[in-house]
Amino acid sequence: MWGISQQYGVSTNRIVRINGLENPDKLVIGLALLIPEPYLQYRVQQGDTLEKISNQFGTAVQEIMQSNRITNPSTIYPGQRLTIPVIYHTVRERDSLYDIARRYGTTVQAIMQMNRITDPSNIHIGRIMRIPQKPKPIIEVNGFTNVYGQAGAQQVREVAYDLTYVSPFGYRMRQDGSLEVIDDTPTIRAAQSTGVIPMMCITNFSATEAGTQLAHTILSDLSLVEKILTNVIKTMKNKGYRGLNIDFESVAPEDRDFYNRFLQRAVDRLRPEGYFVSSSLAPKTSASQKGLLVEAHDYPVHGRLLDFVVLMTYEWGYRKGPPQAISPINEIKRVLDYAVTAIPTNKIFIGFQIYARDWLIPHVEGQEAETFDMQEAIRRAVQYNVEIKYDETAQSPYYRYKDNQGRTHEVWFEDARSAKAKFDLVKSYRSRGLSYWVLGYPFPQNWELLGDTFIVRKL
């Protein structure tokens, strides 16, 4: 690890922290490490504000806040050490401007202009040079959470600097038009105190019921539709929600028009109250695609009526299905290629799961995979001393190991490489942003890379 930190000019402690490594002396072949940029360190002076500091270094207040996990810009204090997201390079032996420019993805001329260098051959060892950066894209980020009470609130506080919205999942409808109650108040309060917009979510399914019949009962009865929306508005006002996400799944194909009518009524009633309306959509690759999960999801109607949509581009590696990448890039691209023909790109959130899965193989139908966080995936690779491989088609890491009982396992997870591949999709498709399912699974590489790649919009 010391050699890696020397090579990139970044401290070992920072590499360890960003990658969530428990023991830097125990690495495994194939493990992808996120190497952070050598950012400037600045000590806050008396009278400093984040706006003053950002102007001094030519960066944005929001970038400094993201880099330093700050949710309230007025809480900095004299003597505090801040990481300034401006790249500096200290010239080392055998460095040339050409090598430096290639490493940081810029040009020799741009470095010379920024640092007032007139002779490219005259750079001495130890000189600190600022490296020009391209402006970061501004995106919005949503995080779903399915943990309630103070635990849900803590999940929000841990990543609030990288969230635009948080959506506690979820309020399930009842047949009489009422809503099941959830303990979401602590999560909402945590969001409000950290500059995150709380978004209410309503749904028709549960862990034990697909909700197809419930959706039909509600959607086909206009009086129940109005009652549901009345209860939604009442809950939003009482709790402090700012918008709604509609996540109706496994809706019968013959109820498609009823679902579209519900969306129209939701918009008609919520927008005058000052609320935005969104939906979560099953991953669909064509308008004619068949299947209970997708047929009632009318992409053009959602795109026309709603403020934005969340594409649920994950769960190919289903917990009860055979082992495979959970959110493979090649499949996500197929969904996006269709979605952008039906929905404006500035209304599309790309879904990204942040958990790993471990399947027993050979897979037996109905056998459930174990779900856990990315750090546990790395722990198991280290524990069983196996090489981590990378599927270039799916853009996802995986490995196999034998446990102490001689059983073979296959693990699929995410790392810095696969996260970057998804971030590149956001940029190439010019989508509105990312939506994470689900908060609560530690994945430090993701959040660090997110802040390095984008400025997360705060509303």
Q: Are 100 and 52 in contact (CB under 8 A)?
A: no
How many whole angstroms separate alpha carbon 240 and alpha carbon 212? 30
The DSSP bridge partners found for residue 426 are none
What's the alpha-carbon Rg for the chain, to the nearest Å? 24
Triad 162, 145, 142: Cα angle to 5°: 35
Write the DSSP string, 52-80.
HHHHHHT--HHHHHHHTT-S-GGG--TT-
What gap in Å lies between CA 434 and CA 445, rounded to an integer? 16
* 380 Rama class: left (phi>0) / alpha (psi -120 to 50) / beta: alpha
Q: Which two three-digit tokens encode residue 405? A: 């009982």
Left, alpha or beta for 395 (phi > 0: left; psi -120 to 50: alpha)? left
Report the catalytic residues. Answer: 249
Q: At 206, phi and psi to the nearest 5?
A: -140, 180
Determine the Cα–Cα distance for residues 374 and 356; give it in Å rounded to an integer: 6
AA identity, residue 242:
R
CA distance 64 to 82: 8
Residues 177, 227 contacting (CB under 8 angstroms): yes
Contacts with 80 (C-beta within 8 Å, 6 or more apart), sequence order = 43, 44
User: Degrees (nearest 5) of the Cα angle 140, 345, 352?
Assistant: 50
413's tokens: 């997870």
Q: 4's torsion region: left (phi>0), alpha (psi -120 to 50) or beta?
A: alpha
